[in-house]
Amino acid sequence: MRGLGRYYQIHVLCRGQADPVTGYFLSIKHIDQAVHKHALPYLQQLITTTPSLATIAVGTLMGRLMKLLSPPLDHTVARVRLDLTPFYNISIRSRDMAHVVIRHQYEFAAAHRLHTPRLSDEENRRVFGKCNNPSGHGHNYRVEVAVRAPIGPNGQVTPVEDLDRVVDEAVIEKLDHKHLNLDVPQFDRLNPSVEHIAMVIHSMLTPALGAIGVTLEEVSVWETEKTVCTYRADTVKTGTAT
């Protein structure tokens, strides 16, 4: 390859019961063959006839991939996901062919201090260790926002640019290069742990995303490359994070 090229990934999730004798549910080769025979030729045709997959009606594209893969995989396909970049992907679920799920990642840098007035100073130091440093400390946070978007009559879905604008206005501008304890009102009474950060971002985004016709499914926040917390829409009523 010379110059710049495009590199996409397809993720196929199948659901079923494992055979009690072999332990297999589906052979990996069977899945590979189905993708190579049915999905890749369709994508290759699109790639050769369009300047970018971003210009294609995403709903039509994802629905077509699901319909191509479902029969050869015995209708066990639960979800098909297409990664357009390492930070942006679109998926469709067999139980909800009227919507796609769009996931996009963002970054912001912020400082915080893990400290709660419900504990004594000694207990705070014991529980939070170095993270209880009185001057605080910083992280480069990574945030993934997942939204459920309806597929329009012509296969179109909410452009990712609209999602970018909402996330930037509702979250990034308010958190980036801030001290969360001191500069962000939501943390006046909340200890800014990664769990609470994910929960607060979810609450910041929910009304704003509803205004552009999409539903927030979950927010994931990476505090480090090894530590991530996901706050899902179905946990809001109980106030828990996973």
Q: What is the pLDDT of residues 201-217, one digit of tens each?
A: 999 999 999 999 999 99
Question: Pairing mode, if any, of strands 178-179 and 215-222?
Answer: unpaired
Residue listed under structure tokens 């357009």: 84
Q: Is the pTM of the predicted complex or chain greater than 0.75?
A: yes
Q: 10 Å Cβ neighbour count for 183?
A: 13
> CA nearest 62: which of 10, 7, 26?
10
Give the CATH fold of the 1-94 domain.
Tetrahydropterin Synthase; Chain A (3.30.479)
pLDDT at res. 56? 79
**19-23, 104-108, 235-239, range with greatest mean pLDDT:** 104-108
Poorest-confidence range of 21-25, 38-42, 148-152? 21-25
Contact 48, 54 (CB under 8 A): no
Which amino acid, one-letter code, is at 159?
Answer: P
* Arithmetic mean of pLDDT, 7-35: 92
Q: 10 Å Cβ neighbour count for 91?
A: 20
Give the CATH fold of the 97-242 domain.
Tetrahydropterin Synthase; Chain A (3.30.479)
> CA nearest 102: which of 31, 157, 61, 52?
157
pLDDT at res. 53? 65
Question: Pairing mode, if any, of strands 137-150 and 228-232?
Answer: unpaired
pLDDT at res. 240? 44
Contact 233, 216 (CB under 8 A): yes
pLDDT at res. 233? 73
Give the model's confidence band at 239: pLDDT under 50 very low, under 70 low, under 90 confident, else very high.
very low
Residue 180 CA to residue 197 CA, distance in Å, equals 9
| CATH code 3.30.479.10 region(s) in the chain | 1-94, 97-242
Alpha helix segments (H runs only) across the chain: 28-34, 40-49, 58-69, 121-128, 160-167, 173-175, 180-183, 194-210
Active site residue 177: yes
Residue listed under structure tokens 């879905």: 157
Q: What is the mean pLDDT of the chain?
A: 92
Q: Supply angle C-alpha 66, 40, 42, rounded to 5.
A: 70
Kindly name the residue from 36, 75, 137, 177 that is annotated as catalytic.
177
Active site residue 223: yes
Kindly name the residue from 123, 131, 144, 161 that is annotated as catalytic.
131
pLDDT at res. 242? 40
Kindly name the residue from 11, 223, 225, 229 that is annotated as catalytic.
223
Contact 113, 137 (CB under 8 A): yes
- pLDDT of 238 strictly over 50: no
